Amino acid sequence: MTSRSRMCRAWVGLSAGILLAGSTIARAQVTPAAGYTAPDDTPSYKVGTVIYADYTYVDEPTALDADLNVIHPSGFNVTRAYINVTGNINHLISFRVTPDITRLTTTNTGLGPGEKVTTSLDGSLTFRLKYAFGQFNFDNSISKGSWARFGLQQTPYIDWLEGVYRYRFQGTIFVEREGPLLSGGFLSSSDFGLSFHYNFPKSFGDLHVGYYNGDTYSKPEANDQNAVQVRVSFRPVPNLGVLKGLRLTGFYDADNYAQNDDRTRLVGTVTFEHRYVNAGYEHLNATDRPTAASAKVEATGYSIWATPRFPKGWEMLLRYDNFKPNKDVDATKNRKLGGVAYWFNTPSPNSVAMLLDYEKVSVDPALAKPDEKRYALHTLFTF
């Protein structure tokens, strides 16, 4: 074999060795670290539903039928029928679209005496948009459970509290059920806006801050005034036995009806979660000045509730609300609510429950509203 042949064979062997080594190095570089699981970026979506149906008998106040007979109104109703469409574009981007029902009525304003406009759909239940938002998840960059949302979405306080108080299918929580002297609740569960959520390390709590229209999901923005809402929840001892279920929460809503016309809400809440009972106390201070010509009205109130649990799905609902619509007027509205519920054994996140309850509302004469007393059977179906 010539010297040139030996050199060629040596060069070929060296080249093959370099290529083999390079291939081995390349494979080592792309092999995931031990224990690492790549995130699932397969697009997906789910369709679900939430249904609240009830039968209610009103003992007080009575009413008159078409023949002027005194009656106790009663009937079956569906107060909520969500169609939830949720999904993920990848592990960083998700979305939700949820229509909900409302009772359709025609508003008659600006008409002459005796004039009225109606449609064939008056009184029907029709769907309207409740949620429609995109979400950007920051699990990898900030903390697990941190995200930003843009669109029609949950506001920071109500959705959070209803994760502890599970009885929205009986009725709304205190700050949404009561409201200023005009109409409507002090807070809405949904609004158009942009919000950011952050989970504190080691389960110490979370922060949710948002910038919203402030006019709720049922109305368009009326002017240039927007709402800033902030909720901070803190667990003092997240890993200490029974006390890990204790949370302290502060919420503030800074908004205006128009420039310099205050619409603010301050809520302080204490909640406790345990396998045998959930309980809570919330205190509200609210300020409303609908127009520059109207007087500023400051309202206050509180709600205290507990839901003791028993074996085999049985649970109780106990609640007391105290509301003073105007601090300058010595008049209050009190709500007493008690019920027995049965929660069926269903796989999470599905829920099926029935609640038989009694509700009594006592109103001071100065508020010029009747007392209320009702009995009801409420049902919840979530799939």
Domain parsing of the chain, residue ranges: 42-382
Q: What is the DSSP string of 66-130?
A: TT--EE--EEEEEEEEEEEEEEEEETTEEEEEEEEEEE------SPPTT-----TTTT-EEEEEE
SS3 302: strand
Q: Give the per-residue pLDDT at 119.
A: 76
Q: Give the per-residue pLDDT at 161.
A: 98
SS3 242: helix
Phi, psi of 214 (to 5 degrees): 90, 0
Q: Are 173 and 161 in contact (CB under 8 A)?
A: yes
Q: Give the per-residue pLDDT at 28.
A: 40
- The H-or-E segment that residue 279 falls in is strand 277-288
Please report, in tens digits, the pLDDT of each residue of the chain (383 residues total): 444 444 444 433 434 443 333 444 334 444 555 566 777 889 999 999 999 999 999 999 999 999 999 999 999 999 999 999 999 999 999 999 999 998 887 766 666 676 667 777 788 999 999 999 999 999 989 999 999 999 999 999 999 999 999 999 999 999 999 998 555 799 999 999 999 999 999 999 999 999 999 999 988 898 999 999 999 999 999 999 899 999 999 999 999 999 999 999 999 999 999 999 999 999 999 999 999 999 999 999 999 999 999 999 999 999 999 999 999 999 999 999 999 999 999 998 899 999 999 999 999 999 999 999 999 999 999 99
Which of the four CATH numbers 3.20.20.70, 3.40.1450.10, 3.40.50.360, 2.40.160.10 does domain 42-382 have? 2.40.160.10
CB contact set of 176 (below 8 Å; sequence gap of 6+): 158, 185, 186, 187, 188, 189
Q: How far is CA 51 from CA 243, 289, 351, 380, in A?
A: 34, 36, 10, 6
Distance CA 56, CA 376 (A): 4
What burial class does residue 202 get, using C-beta atoms within 10 Å of its C-beta: 0-12 exposed, 13-18 middle, 19+ buried?
A: exposed
Distance CA 179, CA 201 (A): 36
67: left (phi over 0), alpha (psi -120 to 50) or beta: alpha
Predicted confidence (pLDDT) per residue in 174-200, tens digit: 999 999 855 579 999 999 999 999 999
Distance CA 228, CA 157 (A): 12
Q: Are 302 and 282 in contact (CB under 8 A)?
A: yes
Whether the bond between 220 and the residue before it is cis, its omega within 30 degrees of 0, is no
Question: Global pTM?
Answer: 0.85
Q: Give the per-residue pLDDT at 234.
A: 98
**Numbers of helices and strands, H then E, in the chain:** 3, 18
Q: Give the per-residue pLDDT at 355.
A: 98
Tokens coding 377: 């059977």
Closest among 332, 333, 351, 335 to 343, alpha carbons compared: 351
Distance CA 148, CA 92 (A): 11
Distance CA 271, CA 256 (A): 29
Tokens coding 53: 């149906």
CB contact set of 192 (below 8 Å; sequence gap of 6+): 151, 152, 153, 212, 213, 217, 221
Determine the longest span between alpha carbons in the chain, in angstroms: 123
> Tokens 């009190």 identify what position?
334
Beta bridge partners of 77: 54
> Please, what's the b/e burial string for 251-281 (b: 16 or more CB within 10 A of its CB; e: otherwise)?
bbbebbbeeebbbbbebebebbeeeeebbbe
